[in-house]
Chain A
Amino acid sequence: MNSLPVLMGYLTMGFAAGVLLSVKALIPCAPLWSALIAFGAISGTLSFAVVPAIAASDPCYSIAVLTFAINFRYAFYGFSMLGRWRGIPLLQKWFLVHSLADEIYALDVACRIPDPLKNRYYCLWNHALCATYWVVGSTAGALAGAALPIPSRGIEFAMVALFLVIFTDQMKGWLKRHAL
């Protein structure tokens, strides 16, 4: 399937986010929360960014602001899906919307199946599989972080590195678009 690169990416990124949560957030039952956060907001950046906020017991409104700032881009993903997802039953559409993350969206866009029904099942499978990779990776990472003595000093850099990578990619794309 097309989702194989996402499998590798999501499992490892989810693993890293899970490890980070279990060693840095200082909460009991970290694997459970890791899974819930992973499924609740299928958003890699948020899974990383929420860890220091939880460790500092930030109030919910500040977490809401953080989520809004990080995931604001998702408000624009839906626009290109408007026409394509027309006529999908509400419950399925909700699930599609719920799991509209970066890589999943990229796969949706890359798919060019003209038949609406086939396209719909492609999207549903894509979303379900990728969401599963993400949750499994996050849970496994949190389990490993709780069980193994992983050296944790400095591991919080993974989040900054993720931001840097996304930012670099955006800059690359911008430069390419403006034909420099």
Chain B
Amino acid sequence: MPSDNTLYLIRVVATAWAVTFFLRALPFLLFAGRRRPLPPAVERFGTFVSPVILAGLIVYSYAGLEWRTAWPYLAGALTVVLQIWKGNALSSIIAGTALYMTLLALTGCASVPVAHLESKAAHPLIRVTTSGLRFQDRPVTPAEAVKLLEKNGVPKDQTLHVLVDPDFDDQQALWVFQHNYLHRAGYAKALLMIGERRAFSGSARLKESSADGAVIPYAPHAPRPPRR
């Protein structure tokens, strides 16, 4: 009994084959048994359509790369320049890919300093979930979170954004973390944001995190957590 994955891949192969074969067979089907030259308009259309589709594919496939960095464009420029200069497709592709892989390996997204990520507020370093505290998706204790903040040189005089999952309702624990850990360590400007729950990586973005009216600034007028 083949698994769903196998069936899916069989369908993929069959689709790819059917469409490709149909396209390749099209002229033979259209002009079967006729001895007539191709209308020049069709020929011109054929030479025109292919680069347009390719240009679209190039733009589309850049979305799958690290397109916010300069690296794919540098590697792309190298590929094109080599291809114009030498005209050897294989060496152009290998050189461009090697350059891109090297640049990624040397820097990648990790080159963006943690403190820089924090200051953008769209990527909070600390997240509070019902299953505990997370520092960049890594489970930590409150003390560890503060240590990591200091280790990464997050400035204490800047606003520190903390993402709170919407289903986290232990106000007291939040207050304890904010007051007894962050504030005591010098992070006086902690900003708690109630955000939607989603995987939170370097490129993840918060949707309207501050616009949903759930921002609780650390300030005297903030609602006090109930005292025990």
Contact = CB atoms under 8 A, between A and B. Distances in A.
A24 to B, nearest CB: 10
Contacts of A79: 27, 31, 38, 42-43, 46
A160 B93 CA distance: 9
B96 A75 contact: no
A157 B20 contact: no
A28 B15 contact: no
Interface string B137-157: 000000000000000000000
A168 B83 contact: yes
Contact of A98 (B19, B24, B87): B24
A162 B17 contact: no
B34 to A, nearest CB: 9
B5 A165 contact: no
Contacts of B8: 57
A78 B28 contact: yes
Interface in B20-50: 20-21, 23-28, 31, 35, 38, 42-43, 46-47, 49-50
A3 interface: no
Contacts of B61: 49, 159-160, 163
User: For chain B, what secondary structure do more than half of its interface residues adopt (helix, strand, loop), or is it mixed?
Assistant: helix
A157 B90 contact: no
Interface residues of B, number: 60
B108 A76 contact: no
B27 A169 contact: no
User: For chain A, what secondary structure do more than half of its interface residues adopt (helix, strand, loop), or is it mixed?
Assistant: helix
Contacts of B35: 83
Interface in A149-177: 151, 153-172, 174
B1 interface: no
Given A37-B16, A72-B49, A83-B35, A164 B23 contact: no
Contacts of B13: 33, 36-37, 40-41
Contacts of B93: 16, 158, 161-162, 165
A64 interface: yes
A75 B26 CA distance: 6
B65 interface: yes
B132 to A, nearest CB: 29
Given A43-B20, A164-B79, 7 more contacts: A33-B9, A50-B12, A70-B53, A83-B35, A153-B108, A161-B79, A170-B51
Interface of B: 5, 8-9, 11-21, 23-28, 31, 35, 38, 42-43, 46-47, 49-51, 53-58, 61-62, 64-65, 72, 75-76, 79-80, 83-84, 87, 89-90, 92-93, 96-97, 100-101, 103-105, 108
10 contacts: A36-B9, A40-B13, A40-B17, A50-B16, A73-B53, A78-B25, A97-B28, A154-B97, A160-B58, A161-B75
